[in-house]
């Protein structure tokens, strides 16, 4: 069945909710941590689609998503230096 409730989505999430902070650098670090978690998750699934399922189309789609997250992570790392 399709997940439709917020608590169902939260159970499926790969992201961890961080403690609240009003500090801008901490918020950006938390955002960077989330992008890096998404990158790791997507990288794992690229190989699964390509190798296990022989689905190059979805592997390419996931690669594109990962590249966007890598770019944002790079921007955030640059800003935080």
For the stretch 13-25, pLDDT in tens is 888 889 999 999 9
The Cα 78–Cα 56 span in angstroms is 32
Average pLDDT over residues 20-38: 97
What residue spans define the domains of the chain?
24-80
Report which of residues 30 and 12 the model is more confident about.
30
Torsion sign (Cα): 70, 72, 75, 79: negative
Tell me the whole-structure pTM to 2 decimals. Answer: 0.85
The Cα 13–Cα 38 span in angstroms is 10
Average pLDDT over residues 50-58: 95
């Amino acid at each position: 069945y399709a997940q439709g409730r917020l608590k169902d989505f939260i159970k499926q999430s790969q992201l961890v909710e961080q403690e609240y902070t009003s500090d801008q650098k901490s918020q950006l670090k938390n955002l960077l941590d989330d992008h890096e978690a998404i990158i790791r998750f997507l990288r794992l699934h690229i190989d699964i689609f390509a190798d296990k399922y022989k689905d190059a189309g979805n592997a390419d789609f996931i690669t594109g998503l990962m590249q966007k997250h890598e770019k944002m992570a790079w921007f955030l790392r640059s800003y935080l230096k």
